[in-house]
Each structure stands twice: as C-alpha cells, then as structure tokens.
Amino acid sequence: MEGNHEPSLTDAEVRRIREDFPLLTGTPTVYLDSGATSQKPLAVLDAEREFYLHRNAAVHRGAHTLAVEATDAYEEARRVVAGFVGGAETELVWTSNATEAINLLAYSFSNATAGRGGEAGRRFRLGPGDEIVTTELEHHANLIPWQELAARTGAVLRWIPVDDTGALDLGAAAEVVGERTRVVAFSHVSNVTGAITDVAALVGLARAAGALTVLDACQSVPHLSVDLPALGVDFAVFSGHKMLGPTGIGALWGRTELLDAMPPFLTGGSMITKVTMETAHYLPAPTRFEAGTQRVAQAVALAEAVRYLEDVGMERIAAHEHALGQRLASGLAELEGIRLIGPPPGTARVGLAAVDVDGVHAHDVGQVLDVAGVAVRVGHHCAQPLHRALGLTASTRASGYLYTTTEDVDRFLAELAGVRSYFRVAG
C-alpha cells in the first residue's frame, strides 16, 4: 500500500455506503467479520432476484429466447469478473468457492499424473522426488488439497516457515524452493495477520525452478486493486461471498494455455464435445471445468458486486482499508496485555488484525465483545499450523471493509481494552 496516492474514503462516504447494505442499517452491531464473509448491498440482492424473475433458464443448452438471454447474462458476468482481476473470459472458471477451485487444480494435476490429458497434460504430472511447496501461514484450503495430492502422487510436501511475528521467512523460501519444486502455492494476504505477501519474490523463485504458482487471493481481490496477469502467477482463486457477492460462487483464474492443457476434474454434461459409450472429448477451458448445472444466478449477482466495487473505486477502498488496518494495529499495540499478531504498526496490511489477549481465551473474548455489540471472528481461522508456530491455539480477529468506519474500529478497541479487567486478569 505504500505509494498509493488515491484519497481514502471519508467517514461521510462510508456512512453513505452503509445505507446500501440492509443488514447494516437499523442495527447497533459493529460488524468486524468481513474477512469471513462480507455483507451484501441491495443491488447485489436485487440482481439475483431479477435474474430469477425475468431470465431464469438453463444456459448453454436451450435455443429459445429465454435460454439465450440467460446464457448471455452468464457469460457477461464472466467477462465482468474476469476483467476485474485483469483477465479474459477464457481465463475464468466458475466454482462454488475458492476451496473447490484449489481442489480442482489438485485433482486435475492428479489426473494428469495418472495419464489423463495426454501429452499436453504432461507438464502437470507429479511423482516421487517432485516437491509441492506451500507456506506455514496458509488457510487449510490451500494446504490440505496439496497434502492429498502429495499422498496420491508420491510427491513431497514442503513449506516456507514463518518468523516469530507470523511473517513469511523469504530467506528460508530461497532454500525451500528448488530444482525439484513443481508447484508453489501461497496466499496473497494472510487471513490471520493481514500481511501482504511479496508475490514478486515468490514468483521469481518459482519461475527459476520451473514451477507453477497458485495464488490464494481470497483476502486480496476484495480489498486491493489486483491484476493477476501482472502479478505473474499461473493460477489464482477467490470467493464471491467475501467481495459483496452471494455464497455458492467462486472462481479459478488461470492462464489460457495452462487451463486448456489441464485434464478436467468433474465430468458429465455441459463440458463435452462428443461422447460415445467408450470415450468422451472435452470442450476447451473454461467450459471443460464446469460440469453440470451452472451457478448462473450467483454469477450474475457476483458481477453486480464487482460493478458496485468498481463504482466506489478499488484504489479508494484499498486506501480506506490501509487506514483502518493502521488504526487497528496502532490501537492494539497500545493496549496492555494484548499481543498483535503479524506485522507491526506502519507495515502494509489490509483492514484486518488478529490478537491474543493474555490470560483470556479467544472464545471468551469474542463472547464479551458480542454482548457489547461487536461481531468479530474467534478461533484458529482455519490456520492451525500458523497458530501453532506462534504458540497459540486461537486468536481474536477484527476485519473491516468499505462499509467500516473509524468509529467501528474505535468501538472495538474500547471494548477490547476492558476484556482483561472483566475477567480480572489485568495488572
């Protein structure tokens, strides 16, 4: 975020934005759990409803007018969302969520290893002696699929460690990524620390090794201005529900030449060109990865969410979140008995911060805050290895978004400051 000269959203603008979110109006709750799921503006809710009211039909099947209109809406949504991350329509595959998107990659690589995909799929094959590299701070969704792929193929899973603040050890990364590395999978932004990864450094290491890169962009695409091709990664995943969109929709972005070479994961209708009783031939990407009934209404609604974000301006949203993140980090660093997890104040982060409260379990912290009308996330945030590396079992996370005001952050800090005395552990 250093060097971002776009003006941040003012609190007056944020209050105006909040009026578009039905759940945030008429409630005293301070919602600081956007890292888990975002709230939805009325425009997104209306877009999904409008599709069902006026254009509901199966896509890529019927020749009647309604089916054509539904197909056009579905593919226009793909164009809008792909463009939002700097991609083309041929580079965006619809999935149910980011977890499914990572599994799609892992199982496609596994199928290639089994000989599917022919000569084109050879580049995705793994075997004994090959290495898959991830990091110690990953969400389980970007760890377990690679564990399973290693188990199926005989490859070895390795990881880049974190230091005592939870930051990736890039010095160690140069030792972990080497000539045997075939895949490097890592997060753009940590869902626990809010830290922004040096993507260029890891892409450089992977390219030198001839490895494919997979970026978990779930916590970056909603909050930063992201151009995936410019980042140099080969694949990336993100989820709609974290970026004002509905649940049940996510995306895999990949370079066209790679997607076209990958064997499919799920098979069935909609993704084939010719089927006999013995064989099947598959359509090019992205359709070859979208078997069965598509997520049409959800895709249309996600495109509307993207339009909403673009209308506000991603650079301004990023600047606003940078300010929120610094306010969170600075305020937390001043509280006695509170350990800020991740980068210190002044370091670039999104509007997210997690803490350990000395002497109080995270679930108790969350309960006290909830009674006070502040909604946060507690637990290991699907990142047990990171918490274990930091000597923790759980933490308390506050995460904001474009509809979060500075007053929301200050209310959280004020309520958190009283937690230790409430449990009589202060002093």
136 with 18, same domain?
no
264 with 330, same domain?
no
149 with 230, same domain?
yes
- List the chain pLDDT tens, one digit each, 427 residues: 344 567 899 999 999 999 999 999 988 899 999 999 999 999 999 999 999 999 999 999 888 999 999 999 999 999 999 999 999 999 999 999 999 999 999 999 999 999 999 999 999 999 999 999 999 999 999 999 999 999 999 999 999 999 999 999 999 999 999 999 999 999 999 999 999 999 999 999 999 999 999 999 999 999 999 999 999 999 999 999 999 999 999 999 999 999 999 999 999 998 999 999 999 999 999 999 999 999 999 999 999 999 999 999 999 999 999 999 999 999 999 999 999 999 899 999 999 999 999 999 999 999 999 999 999 999 999 999 999 999 999 999 999 999 999 999 999 999 999 999 999 986 6
Domain membership of residue 128 (yes or no) is yes
Which tokens is 380 given? 């290991």
253 with 327, same domain?
no
* Domain interval for residue 255: 46-310
- CATH at residue 22: 3.90.1150.10
- The residue behind tokens 């209050």 is 15
Q: What is the pLDDT of residue 323?
A: 97
| Last-in-domain residue among 284, 310, 336 | 310
Q: How many C-beta atoms surround the C-beta of residue 164 within 10 A?
A: 9
What strand order describes the sheet that includes 352-357? 338-341, 352-357, 395-399, 377-379
Continuous segment of H or E residues that includes residue 236: strand 235-239
Longest Cα–Cα distance of the chain, Å, equals 75
Domain membership of residue 3 (yes or no) is no
Domain membership of residue 193 (yes or no) is yes
272 with 416, same domain?
no
- CATH at residue 132: 3.40.640.10
Q: Which residues are catalytic?
A: 382
Q: What is the pLDDT of residue 2?
A: 41
153 with 296, same domain?
yes
Phi, then psi, of 161 in degrees rounded to 5: -80, 170
Q: What is the pLDDT of residue 297?
A: 98
Q: What is the pLDDT of residue 3?
A: 42
Q: What is the pLDDT of residue 255?
A: 98
207 with 247, same domain?
yes
Domain membership of residue 35 (yes or no) is yes
User: Helix or strand or coil: residue 369?
Assistant: helix
Provide the whole-model pTM: 0.96
Q: Is residue 199 a contact partner of residue 220, using CB atoms and an 8 Å limit?
A: no
Angle between helices 406-417 and 362-371 (to 10 degrees): 120
260 with 328, same domain?
no
User: Mind giving me the DSSP string for 83-103?
Assistant: HHTT--GGGEEEESSHHHHHH
Q: What is the pLDDT of residue 5?
A: 60
Domain membership of residue 6 (yes or no) is no
Q: What is the pLDDT of residue 427?
A: 61
Domain count, the chain: 2
Q: What is the pLDDT of residue 202?
A: 98
What are the C-alpha distances in Å from 338 to residues 329, 334, 416, 418, 419? 11, 8, 9, 11, 10
Q: How many C-beta atoms surround the C-beta of residue 357 within 10 A?
A: 21
| Last-in-domain residue among 282, 310, 338 | 310
Which tokens is 39 given? 């709230």
